[in-house]
Amino acid sequence: DVRDGLKPVHRRILYAMSELGMSPDKPYKKSARIVGEVIGKYHPHGDTAVYDTMVRMAQDFSLRYMLVDGHGNFGSVDGDMAAAMRYTEARLSKIAMEMLRDLNKETVDFMPNYDGEENEPVVLPARYPNLLVNGVGGIAVGM
């Protein structure tokens, strides 16, 4: 969506991390925990697609301003793959917090998730122009 510059899977990862309280001042949590939260509540697709997208958001060579602060082996510019999700950890970056700021102040609409048990934001408030800053590519997931 051009309003926040994110695809649904990116938005769902950031929102799930926010709901888990994974701010930059908190300890890292296992990537597998994040992926499980995302596919369990918001994005009922393969765990690989979600993890690969989260990895990309943590790579300084993929985005100008990383939205995920990764800890561990998140791959290299030479094409080395990231370590398995059970070995890596992550939390939100400081700039990602600007994407999520004011989310609890009814600044954006929410919609039911795939099974109607949870609600998720239609877009994020995005206090900076993520689409211009980080760009976007591909049709579905950002890998």
How is residue 105 written in tokens? 């102040």
Choosing from 15, 51, 87, 128, the catalytic residue is 87
87 is catalytic: yes
User: Would you name the residues annotated as active-site residues?
Assistant: 87
